[in-house]
Amino acid sequence: MTHFASLCSSFVYVQFAQGAVLDSILSAFRSICGEDGVLLGEAVREQHGKDESLHRCCPPDVVVFPHCVEEVSALAKVCHNHQLPIIPFGTGTGLEGGVSTKSECAACLCDSSCLEPGVTRKALNAYLRDTGLWFPVDPGADASLCGMAATSASGTNAVRYGTMRENVINLELVLADGTIIHTAGKGRRPRKTSAGYNLTNLFVGSEGTLGIITKTTLRLYGLPEAMVSAVCSFPSVQDAVDSTVQTLQAGVPIARIEFLDDVMIEACNRFSSLSYPVTPTLFLEFHGSEQSLKEQVSTTADITQSNGGADFQWAQHAETRNRLWKARHDAWYAALALRPGCKAYATDVCVPLSRLPQIIVETKEDLIENRLTGPIAGHVGDGNFHCLVVVDPNDPEELHRVHLFTDRLARRALAMDGTCTGEHGVGLGKRALLCEEMGSMAIQVMQGLKDTLDPNNLMNPGKILLPKAL
């Protein structure tokens, strides 16, 4: 295990000022990060006012690109002095409207800024290529590491290597008033700690509402000696999920185990020119020594066969494996290609593994009853799955049906002791569901933390927590 610190992220300032006040703010921004670091053009503002979700683009007024933590701190102080809200921006691949300025309190102008281009997970792994190390958290999209920390991202490797919560060791942050802090103490990177409150995990998943992450210290892993991937088709959802549960119960340290339903596999076949049987399917990957791979594979093959799984289709060579996982990561685009011109909304519930077959079966019935296109792909080893609901954004009636469906799905997950979001975060769309999930006392504690760290509600206002009743 080793560590890597990344300096990353862009961020967006939202502000209410006009005229002379606005001019003086812009000139303060320019004095901090130069003329080139303060952008007002429509295209760059639009780019920073939206993510990959269905939430409408609400562009900030100004996009600012700082180069170091000191500049971020100085910019935050300007915003603090003028009571200007701030929206951090990573790479805009979020799926819950986290970078939009749209919120109840956003009758505002906006501006944004970016430290050196945010280090993304792919850039980090390219940098590490010759060191024998890698960073396994893999949300599919090439997101920034600070954005991934901010959303507590995970993805296909989480079943073995954990999510951002388990893999962030320390964070450098700028608070709303410009104070710079290190959540585990400056420069510290112990393998474990019981030193006081866990500030690191308070900020992991805080979605820019508590501070701006400027550096992450991450846990890295040795590259596995060998890897092998496989695809296996099943007669039913229950058989695929039973195989998953039994494989984990057997102690197989599987690296990836991804579920695709029949609709999703058909979409992937079409989009990625594949020819897998159109039935519930598992994509699997094993990491380890040659000897341990043999054992892992043999145990898993026995389990899948006992659950009616067809013979594995193996992919041992890097090229074939990459093609397989590219097809999985392209599932979002494969779903979109089912209805050209439409947009996709990814639901993101997570339930205890024992409840997974039931919730997937009920969800598929719900999709059919409500005439919705929603292929399902899931990080099934974690009990986390997504319906990629493809919808015509210009059809209000269909949008309404999607909205009702996603709420029903989240409540179904809550009723099964799960969560309304396993990895995408709360953003704008799940604030009310978060209240149902947490209960009023826990929400009050969250609000108290927000009030303490950001008393003027300047950090990404309107996200995660609903506005306080006046």
Amino acid identity for residue 93 in this structure:
T
Alpha helices (H) in 316-355, listed in sequence order? 318-329, 331-336
Residue 54 CB, shortest distance to ligand FAD, in Å, is 12
Task: Give the pairing type, strands 281-288 and 226-233.
Answer: antiparallel
Residue 380 as a binder of ligand FAD (CB under 6 A): the answer is no
Nearest distance, CB of residue 148 and ligand FAD, angstroms? 4
Q: Which is nearer to ligand FAD, 208 or 374 (CB)?
A: 208
Region binding ligand FAD by CB under 6 A among candidate stretches 91-99, 186-194, 288-296, 301-309 = 91-99
CB of 77: closest distance to ligand FAD in angstroms? 17
How far apart CA 256 and CA 158 sit, in angstroms, is 8
Among 26, 58, 76, 87, the residue binding ligand FAD under the rule CB under 6 A is 87
What is the rounded (10 degree) CA torsion for 100, 101, 105, 110? Answer: 170
CA atoms lying within 13 Å on the CB side of residue 36: 3
Tell me: does residue 141 bind ligand FAD (CB under 6 A).
yes
**Which alpha helices (DSSP H) does 129-222 contain, by range?**
145-151, 158-161, 164-167, 199-203
Q: Enter the tokens of residue 225.
A: 């000696």
To the nearest 10 degrees (0 to 180), the angle between helices 440-453 and 431-438 is 120
**Binding map of ligand FAD across residues 14-53, x = CB under 6 A, - = no contact:** -------------------------------------xx-
* Least gap, CB of 330 to ligand FAD (angstroms): 8
CB contact set of 363 (below 8 Å; sequence gap of 6+): 374, 376, 387, 409, 412
460, 461, 462, 465: residue in contact with ligand FAD (rule CB under 6 A): 460
**Pattern 96-135, ligand FAD, x by CB under 6 A:** --xx------------------------------------
Identify the bridge partners of residue 111 per DSSP, sorted by sequence position: 13
Beta bridge partners of 313: 231
Q: Is 140 in the site for ligand FAD (CB under 6 A)?
A: yes
Taking the complex as a whole, the smallest distance from the CB of residue 95 to ligand FAD amounts, in Å, to 5
* Residue 357 is a binding residue for ligand FAD (CB under 6 A): no
Q: How far apart are CA 165 and CA 312, in angstroms?
A: 33
User: With respect to ligand FAD, which residue has the nearer C-beta, 59 or 92?
Assistant: 92
Site for ligand FAD in 56-85 (CB under 6 A): none
Distance CA 73, CA 214 (A): 10
Give the interface with ligand FAD as residue ranges (CB under 6 A): 9, 51-52, 87-95, 98-99, 139-141, 143-144, 146-148, 150-151, 153-155, 207-208, 212-213, 332, 423-424, 460, 463
